[in-house]
Structure 1
Amino acid sequence: MLGLGEGEAGSIVPQHLQRRIKRVSVVVVALAVAIFVTIPVYVMVAVAVQDPTNVFAGGDVHLLIDSVTLRNFEVLFEETATVRYFTNSLIVTISSTILSTSLAVAAGYGLTRFDFTGKTVAARAVLFSYMFSPIVLAIPLYVIFYTLGLLDSYFALTLGLTAISAPFTIWLMWQYFQTVPIALEESAWVRGASRTRTVWDVVLPVARPGYISAAIFSFAVAWNDFTMSRVVMSSDEMYTITVGASLFLDRVTIGWGETMAVSLLICIPPFLIAVFLQNYLLQGFNVGGLE
């Protein structure tokens, strides 16, 4: 066709214009998503760092930050059990992350390096179990923990959170270990290294992006959990920060300023992990076959 450049024959819209439209579309969608995500975060920060008398002065909501105060955080630390809730979350989240990641590394390596009947079916069944909602697991686990006398304990909640995250992390590590050449291990075996030494010194350093991705996922599941904590924990002093923050909405002495302040505190650990470990996360999912 006349008027079309090379490689554009049969096309009504020139290819260079198609590429430009695609780029513009991507930019527009990215901006829309960024605005959709950023506005709630800004509102949370604006309400958290300002005095409520300034934010809600005159019956209107003023979201322009004129002055910064720590008053809302002081109320949280002095009049609520926020520190206790935050500590509980850290304990169960770190414990669950370590346990889930360790299980993922061990199971993923076993599924990759050892042959047994039904290996592929077992791996897919593990991933399929992740499709169940946490509340589906919470009720049976509650019965088990009640029978064993483990309710209202860090140990029980750690096991419950691990049951939620482990299926996906195991599948992720199974995929990732398939990208680690067996020749690396064979070279170490030839030099007299045991399998344990080979895994520790050869396999794990190569698989670092994979198990860090698994750890990040486990951390996110445990830190943001509400259902399992609400079911397993029964006493106020054992609640995690997500459950404890929800209780603030029923307290007359806690307003929106304090509620947004505790929400900001909840966001800090995931934000720091995303900032400092995002490269490992991307490598783990991409190389692990999840691109």
Structure 2
Amino acid sequence: MFEFGEGAAGSYVSQATQQRVKRTAVVLTALLVAVFVTIPVYVMIAIAVQSPSSAFAGGSVQLFVDSLSFENFRVLLTETSTPRYFFNSIVVTASSTFLSTVIAVAAGYGLTRFDFTGKTLMARAVLFAYMFSPIVLAIPLYVIFYTLGLLNSYFALTLALTAISAPFTIWLMWQYFQTVPIALEESAWVRGASRTRTIWDVVLPVARPGYISAAIFSFAVSWNDFTMARVVMSQDEMYTITVGASLFLDRVSIGWGETMAASLLIAIPPFCIALFLQNYLLQGFNVGGLE
């Protein structure tokens, strides 16, 4: 018979050692991810806040910022259609976020509180619809909007973006409303409140983390969209900021500095929303059954 000595293969490894190994692995993985994500962001910021002559001095990219310059931002705001692009993005993002959230709350509540044949199948089918890539939906939607004469309109792009985000937000709210006790509504009904009043005064305050999470998701989909905006909008003045920023590299007078500055401006709103609403986001996804 073979006997393993202390420390040999097959010997007992203490739980404390296992925990240290796991903790070290988690920390190393987090550091690798942080480096992988941070380096492109730093390069973007470094190029954006330097003048083109400084950022590309000597024929190479200078990643160490010696002096700050807002020349790239000045060019964007005064010599390009960036303000118009931002306005377009704000309009369609706000509209799509609102519409998608309202649909998600209504559909999620209906799937949770009303019984009908095929309810679970319908809810899963809604989530399955989210699996389709936007490019798969782009051509059919283009044909529909072209037939209806809705191309190059905020309304068409809002509907297209809602079609992308609504399936997931509906499923999210369906999951979240299952955690809201029906007893709260029954208590309000006993006191004479209508269903509408109960939803407004009782259900929605309790479900706030859920629909805020749904709104954040819808915002991210709409704000970062490129495919639908490029397909639905064909006029330059109707482009969103994501499409507009991609056009800067094709112009003679606009280069990498202005493109990085535009990218930095695009990144600021999602960063602020994630920073200030992260607690709602975590609560919505965790309690909603997505942990």
Q: TM-score, normalised by structure 2?
A: 0.96
Which one-letter code corresponds to 2:256 in the other structure? W
Distance 2:197 2:82 in 1: 44
More deviation in 158-167 or 59-68? 59-68
1:129 corresponds to: 129
Contact kept, 8 Å, 2:216 with 2:281, in 1: the verdict is yes
Query: Aligned-pair distance for 1:254?
Result: 0.5
Query: Aligned-pair distance for 1:11?
Result: 5.3
More deviation in 170-179 or 59-68? 59-68
Query: Aligned-pair distance for 1:12?
Result: 2.8
Distance 1:177 1:131 in 2: 22
1:200-256 deviations in Å (ceiling 9; x for gaps): 000000000000000000000000000000110110000000001111110010111
2:171 corresponds to: 171
Contact kept, 8 Å, 2:47 with 2:257, in 1: the verdict is yes
Query: Aligned-pair distance for 1:136?
Result: 1.0
2:16 corresponds to: 16
In the alignment, structure 1 residue 63 sits paired with structure 2 residue 57: no
Distance 2:77 2:284 in 1: 38
Which one-letter code corresponds to 2:290 in the other structure? L
Which one-letter code corresponds to 1:43 in the other structure? V
2:265 corresponds to: 265
2:209 corresponds to: 209
Cα pair distance change 1:189/1:11, threshold 3 Å: farther
Number of residue pairs aligned between Structure 1 and Structure 2: 286
2:159 corresponds to: 159
Distance 2:214 2:11 in 1: 45
Runs of 4+ residues deviating >6 angstroms: 1-4
Distance 1:63 1:283 in 2: 38
Contact kept, 8 Å, 2:210 with 2:288, in 1: the verdict is yes
Contact kept, 8 Å, 2:5 with 2:11, in 1: the verdict is no
2:252 corresponds to: 252
1:130-184 deviations in Å (ceiling 9; x for gaps): 0001011111111111111111100000000000000000000000000000000
Distance 2:289 2:11 in 1: 35
1:15-69 deviations in Å (ceiling 9; x for gaps): 2111111111111110110011001000000000011111111112211111111
Contact kept, 8 Å, 2:85 with 2:241, in 1: the verdict is yes
In the alignment, structure 1 residue 223 sits paired with structure 2 residue 223: yes
Which one-letter code corresponds to 1:37 in the other structure? V
**Unaligned segments of structure 2, at least 5 residues:** none
Which one-letter code corresponds to 2:252 in the other structure? V
% of aligned pairs identical? 80
Distance 2:161 2:282 in 1: 23
Contact kept, 8 Å, 2:91 with 2:154, in 1: the verdict is yes
2:81 corresponds to: 81
Distance 2:55 2:102 in 1: 47
Distance 2:134 2:58 in 1: 44
1:7 corresponds to: none
What does 1:41-52 correspond to in 2, within 5 Å? 41-52=41-52
Q: TM-score, normalised by structure 1?
A: 0.96
SS in 2 for 1:123: helix
Cα pair distance change 1:11/1:288, threshold 3 Å: farther
Cα RMSD between the aligned structures? 1.3
More deviation in 132-141 or 103-112? 132-141
Distance 1:142 1:58 in 2: 46
1:186 corresponds to: 186
Which one-letter code corresponds to 1:207 in the other structure? A
